Amino acid sequence: MKITDMLTASKQMLSFEVFPPKTETVFKSVSEAALKIATLHPSFISVTYGAGGGTSQYTLDLARRIRETTGVEAMAHLTCVSSTRATIHDRIEEIHAAGISNVMALRGDLPKDGTPGRDYHHACELIAELRATGYDFCIGSACYPEVHPESTNQKADIAALRLKAEAGCNFFTTQMFFDNHLLFNFLYKIREAGITIPVFPGIMPITSKKQIEQVLRLSNAYLPQRFRSLMDRYGDSEPAMRQAGIIYATEQIIDLYANGIQVVHVYTMNKPEIAAAIQQNLSNIIGMPL
């Protein structure tokens, strides 16, 4: 089922993101964690794709297994910047043949030396290519409430988003953020710019000090003082930080729903206990009419 078709039920939805194994050695443990998350029966699960193509086959395998063993709809991520047109063509055919109708179309990070892609430069080219197949994919793409690090300013970033919507993207999922005001401001600006497709906020529960250091290294996310206080107070106690991080993420999600957001996407980091705790905290809220 296409994710866009699920939206017509007009109910609050929770979806999860998982990542596939990077190597054959960890295939079993990583896949099992992801499948366990699928048994929680979120609205859908998205499966990330390795930037260098290393996990490309595993992405599709995992997405297929999630659908077949749990009946949960899966979305396969696909990045294009490090691939040739021929490879992308093959990947799209494989996705279609596997019965996956939801695709997250991404550019992917540029190589560390900044060399641009040979055949692809931006996600909108991949979106257009997916549309041109005529396969009736539901296509998602990424957006950045705090602006993509390569963009000179938010206006330019939003102009690029419009190109993705015009190329045939059906919805956007956001980069993680820790202050909902940033999301609400972003939504106001994109709607003003004429972008009308749904936006699914991406929420990352931060459950350890190590994880926050990683997040800050990889993204330019703003950390509100309220969050910093939690880290200062509980960062050295693993169970306390886990509990505080889950509650913080839950509160963010409730506030998003309360302000009219239909779908919240949780970055689970393949941790079933964290996905389950968030879902449990929202058990009387998920499924409520909009």
Ligand X SMILES: Cc1cc2nc3c(=O)[nH]c(=O)nc-3n(C[C@H](O)[C@H](O)[C@H](O)COP(=O)(O)OP(=O)(O)OC[C@H]3O[C@@H](n4cnc5c(N)ncnc54)[C@H](O)[C@@H]3O)c2cc1C
Of the listed pieces 4-12, 44-52, 223-231, 235-243, which binds ligand X according to CB under 6 A? Answer: 44-52
Q: Which of 202, 227, 200 has its CA nearest to residue 212?
A: 227
What distance in Å separates the CA atoms of residue 53 and residue 87, rounded to the nearest whole number? Answer: 10
For ligand X, which residue of 2, 36, 98, 151 counts as binding (CB under 6 A)?
Answer: 151
- Among 64, 67, 91, 122, the residue binding ligand X under the rule CB under 6 A is 122
Applying CB under 6 A, which of residues 64, 67, 91, 107 lies at the interface with ligand X? 107
Which of these segments, 2-10, 21-29, 31-39, 146-154, binds ligand X (CB under 6 A)? 146-154
Neighbouring residues of 142: CB distance < 8 A, sequence distance ≥ 6: 104, 106, 123, 172, 173, 174, 175
The yes or no reply on residue 215 touching ligand X (CB under 6 A) is no
Q: For residues 169-181, b (16+ Cβ closer than 10 Å) or e, as one string?
A: bbbbbbbbbbbbe
3-state secondary structure of 157: helix
197 binds ligand X (CB under 6 A): no
Which region among 6-14, 64-72, 150-158, 223-231 touches ligand X (by CB under 6 A)? Answer: 150-158
Query: Which residue, 174 or 279, is less far from ligand X as judged by CB?
Result: 174
CB nearer to ligand X: give 167 or 282: 167
Distance, in Å, from the CA atom of 221 to the CA atom of 215, rounded to the nearest integer, reads 8
Distance CA 224, CA 218 (A): 17
Q: How far is the CB of 26 from ligand X (least distance, A)?
A: 17
d(CA 12, CA 27): 33
Per CB under 6 A, the segment of 3-11, 25-33, 65-73, 158-166 that binds ligand X is 158-166
Residue 192 catalytic?
A: no
Spatial CA neighbour of 73 closest among 104, 52, 50, 108: 104
Question: Interface with ligand X includes 195 (CB under 6 A)?
Answer: no
What phi and psi values does residue 139 have, to the nearest 5 degrees? Answer: -115, 125
CB of 278 to ligand X, least distance (A): 17
- Establish if 142 lies at the interface with ligand X (CB under 6 A): yes
Bridge partners of 46?
17, 75
Residue (4 or 151) nearer to ligand X, CB: 151
Interface residues with ligand X (CB under 6 A) are 48-49, 51, 77, 79, 106-109, 122-124, 142, 148, 150-151, 157, 160, 163-164, 173, 175, 202
Report, as residue numbers or ranges, the catalytic residues.
17
